[in-house]
Amino acid sequence: MLAQKQAEEAIVSNFSEAHDHEGKEDHHQDKEEENTSLFNVKNFLWHGGSVWDAWFSCASNQVAQVLLTLPYSFSQLGLLSGILLQIFYGIVGSWTAYLISVLYIEYRSRKEKENVNFKNHVIQWFEVLDGLLGPYWKAVGLAFNCTFLLFGSVIQLIACASNIYYINDNLDKRTWTYIFGACCATTVFIPSFHNYRIWSFLGLGMTTYTAWYLTIAAVVHGQTEGVTHTAPTKLVLYFTGATNILYTFGGHAVTVEIMHAMWKPQKFKYIYLFATVYVFTLTIPSATSVYWAFGDELLNHSNAFSLLPKNAWRDAAVILMLIHQFITFGFACTPLYFVWEKVIGMHDTKSICLRALARLPVVIPIWFLAIIFPFFGPINSAVGALLVSFTVYIIPSLAHMLTYRKASARQNAAEKPPFFLPSWTAMYVINSFIVVWVLVIGFGFGGWASMTNFVRQVDTFGLFAKCYQCKPPKPLPAAAAPHH
């Protein structure tokens, strides 16, 4: 049995993740410690590379702040469109995550045939594109991915300030953004996705609580007096809501990094799909019930917390979401940290403190942008239309088609077509459909609608808004009329 286990580990070692830089001598020693010390606290909390770790990371990363904006999207789309588009983009998003995983395995198998060692190097999506399709694709992938992750981090920071305001409104949202910017900067100390085991687990628990709190609280509250459900009414609103849902299932910017943190990344193939199915159990009931309760009132409240009554249950949900947003901020920022480390030549540095110091310049522009654009609902839609449409849907589909365009590439593919779609032609048809659909509906109509909405928000509230969508200040008591 021992010999068989050692043989299995030898086969897997080609795909094993280089562990974090904490003085471990090598990967085999880590694995041996895992097998002999199952209840070792440090391994349990810190060293995550299993299929379950990847599932928790994918599911936790998908359902962050968007839980609170989906009812707002339903008020723009209407109930039927909201549910159908969630299912549609969930399936399409799972398919393109599968494509990314296939391309990662293809790239890694080709490089390891050339004896390239990834022990102290985290593979990223733009490197996969570079290795398979050349430098132009690398540049495109890097530009879209980094910009998407940058604004994804900005959204989490804005959302932190927005949420805490519902517990403590003594400070305005801009001041809370300053405070949470400093708190989120501590994510520079987390070396890689390999070290998010306990955070991913807790994060999913937190969003699960929040989703079911929203569902139950809305049902208990009941429909507000004179509630109306008129959506969809305007094309601008409809496509703005649609692109927010497109954004919901677009957590792919960190897919390669999550895969690379796995001991057996070839097992990733269907993890994103299973994560998405679980996410449906959170997003559909919560968005449906809140929209049922408040209807068109949500059009002016992009954060669902703002309409629910203040009590201990809501405060608990707000606090849990705040902690989860800290985790999601780290998820979005970590790939940016890696890119920056590679640019300045610090990626293989073993000192955590030195790497943390080198990473700090990444946090500063995110902090600044969160203060300039403090409205995350419209930003979600704009990022979805202009960035997610390419990063998550179009680029992976095109990259897969171009990588396997030659018969020799298809014949020698590290991963053959899936069992439920064994034809290369059928894969090309699906990929082509995704490219055309997302280009026209997501980028075209969605881009027009979300940018129209975004500009309108800027015109209404201005940049550097001190307190976006806050309650108006209480009027001062009228001064006594002067005597003549």
Q: What pLDDT was estimated at residue 26?
A: 40
**Burial of 480 per CB tally in 10 Å (0-12, 13-18, 19+):** exposed
Those residues whose C-beta lies under 8 Å from the C-beta of residue 251, and which sit 6 or more positions away, are 58, 61, 62, 93
pLDDT, tens only, 350-402: 777 888 888 888 888 888 888 777 665 566 667 777 888 898 899 999 999 99
In this prediction, residue 65 has a pLDDT band, given cuts at 50, 70 and 90, of confident
In this prediction, residue 478 has a pLDDT band, given cuts at 50, 70 and 90, of very low
In this prediction, residue 429 has a pLDDT band, given cuts at 50, 70 and 90, of very high
pLDDT, tens only, 436-455: 999 999 899 988 988 887 77
List the end-to-end C-alpha distance of the chain, in Å, as a whole number. 103
Those residues whose C-beta lies under 8 Å from the C-beta of residue 255, and which sit 6 or more positions away, are 58, 97, 100, 101, 104, 125, 272
Q: Which of 70, 448, 19 is nearest to 235 (CA)?
A: 448
Least confident window among 98-102, 199-203, 270-274:
199-203
Half-sphere exposure at residue 365, Cβ-oriented, CA atoms within 13 angstroms: 12
pLDDT, tens only, 175-216: 877 888 888 888 888 777 667 778 888 889 999 999 999 999
In this prediction, residue 40 has a pLDDT band, given cuts at 50, 70 and 90, of low
In this prediction, residue 35 has a pLDDT band, given cuts at 50, 70 and 90, of very low
Q: Using CA atoms, how far apart are residues 101 and 267, in angstroms rounded to an integer?
A: 9
Question: Tokens standing for 377?
Answer: 């609902």
Percent of the chain with pLDDT over 70: 81
**Burial of 312 per CB tally in 10 Å (0-12, 13-18, 19+):** exposed
Q: Compute the mean pLDDT over every residue in the chain, rounded to the nearest whole number.
A: 80
In this structure, are residues 294 and 71 in contact, taking their beta carbons and an 8 Å threshold? yes
Global confidence as pTM = 0.81
Please compute the mean of the pLDDT values over residues 424-441 and round it to a whole number: 94
Q: What pLDDT was estimated at residue 469?
A: 53
Q: Is 247 left (phi over 0), alpha (psi -120 to 50) or beta?
A: alpha
Q: What pLDDT was estimated at residue 360?
A: 87
In this prediction, residue 156 has a pLDDT band, given cuts at 50, 70 and 90, of confident
In this structure, are residues 341 and 188 in contact, taking their beta carbons and an 8 Å threshold? no
In this prediction, residue 302 has a pLDDT band, given cuts at 50, 70 and 90, of confident
Q: Using CA atoms, how far apart are residues 255 and 464, in angstroms rounded to an integer?
A: 33
Q: Which residue has the higher pLDDT, 476 or 45?
A: 45
Please compute the mean of the pLDDT values over residues 454-463 and round it to a whole number: 66
Domains of the chain plus CATH, in order, are 49-461 (1.20.1740.10)
Those residues whose C-beta lies under 8 Å from the C-beta of residue 25, and which sit 6 or more positions away, are none
Q: What pLDDT was estimated at residue 97?
A: 92
Least confident window among 14-18, 40-44, 257-261:
14-18
Res. 323: pLDDT tops 90 = no
Q: Using CA atoms, how far apart are residues 411 and 147, in angstroms rounded to an integer?
A: 35
Please compute the mean of the pLDDT values over residues 57-76 and round it to a whole number: 85
Q: Judge if the upstream peptide bond of residue 135 is cis by omega within 30 degrees of 0.
A: no
Please compute the mean of the pLDDT values over residues 154-165 and round it to a whole number: 79
Q: What pLDDT was estimated at residue 468?
A: 57
Distance of alpha carbon 482 from the chain centroid:
59
In this structure, are residues 389 and 438 in contact, taking their beta carbons and an 8 Å threshold? yes
Q: Which residue has the higher pLDDT, 244 or 137?
A: 137
| The residue to which tokens 């020693």 are assigned | 29
Q: Using CA atoms, how far apart are residues 446 and 381, in angstroms rounded to an integer?
A: 8
